[in-house]
Amino acid sequence: MNTQSPTIDTSGDAVARVLNAVDERQQEMTALLQDLVRIPSISGSDDENEAIAHAASLFRERGLDVDHWQIPLADITARPDFPGMEVERSEAWGVVGRLPGAAPTTARTLLFNGHLDVVPVGDPQQWSTAPFDPRIADGRLYGRGSCDMKAGFVAALWAVEAVRQSGVRLAGDLLITAVLGEEDGGLGTYSTLARGWRADACVIPEPTGLDLVPANAGALTFRLRVPGVATHASRRTEGVSAIEKFIPLFAALHRLEARRNANPVASASRWPLAYPLSIGTIHAGDWASSVPDLLVAEGRLGVALDEPMEAARADLEQAVAEACRQDPWLRDHPASVEWWGGQFASG
């Protein structure tokens, strides 16, 4: 990328015109956000692709140059540095919009990146409103994905639109991309990079309370398999419950989390738990009157700033192995650790 400073009109009049273009269309922005929230774009669902197609239409309506492509999943997922996925997809799409600059070959390029996929809603009965029926109350908009991060995407889109509508011409290209798969590994952004899109700087309007976040912890998804011996519950002492054998492993993971968070670097010390280790799913047994012979737990390991992913993985594997050595059954039938799904380095 060229390192020369772009010749952008930064006069007070130019800045005011851009800001006014935002302020004049607040209601339109809110309506657009509501439309996006109505799309139940849960990671891995068909609606995830619908959200990307909707973003492509929004880009075209605003006169941007649009690159809307089907992601070659077989090629992308086979790459050695692919960060992984937690849900299977048979089809996935990407999109980039471009507002051309006056001197794109010599000036710098700025990219806005926002994901439109959301996590499952859990129990809808615990919601005060339908998750995908956006409601406004007391100056807030409620709905799944409104905060993380469809509102941020709309804000980025309106930043691009405000520049276009104001008539201010930037020197470099202004790019905006809508991505899927952020919640389970980063497929969308990875595929955008594989497509060849690059910029000198990137702004990701995640919900940070408007704090600038120049660094982030990593996160590694893991799967733990704990073996047991099945038998009828009336003779449970003749079997080995995988659930009971998971208990000391769960305690060991808690101790590991405490140790890994004992002395966080200064930039991470503001958080009560900078590098969480969390178990998200547990599956064991298939019959109430049987002793389960297998427990499968899936979780997320936080990676410290500047910590290699290999070191973080080894830390968890060693903690599990040590806990197994302390148990007579697990010593001979140790639990296994598998790294799957999203694998994010710190940065």
pLDDT of residue 345: 92
Taking the chain (347 residues) in runs of 10, the rounded mean pLDDT of each run is 48 84 89 98 98 99 98 96 92 98 93 98 94 96 97 97 92 98 95 98 94 90 98 97 99 98 79 94 97 98 96 99 99 98 91
Cβ contact 94:52 at 8 Å: yes
Domain locations in the chain?
12-203, 218-344
pLDDT of residue 7: 46
The CATH number fitting domain 12-203, selected from 3.30.420.10, 3.40.50.20, 3.40.50.1370, 3.40.630.10: 3.40.630.10
Architecture, CATH, for domain 218-344: 2-Layer Sandwich (3.30)
| Separation CA 165–CA 220 (nearest Å) | 42
pLDDT of residue 10: 55
pLDDT of residue 259: 97
Active-site annotation, residues: 117, 182
Buried b (16+ CB within 10 A) or exposed e, 283-295: ebbeeeeebbbeb
Q: Is it true that 12-203 and 218-344 share their CATH fold?
A: no
Helices within 9-111 (DSSP H only): 12-23, 26-37, 46-61, 73-77
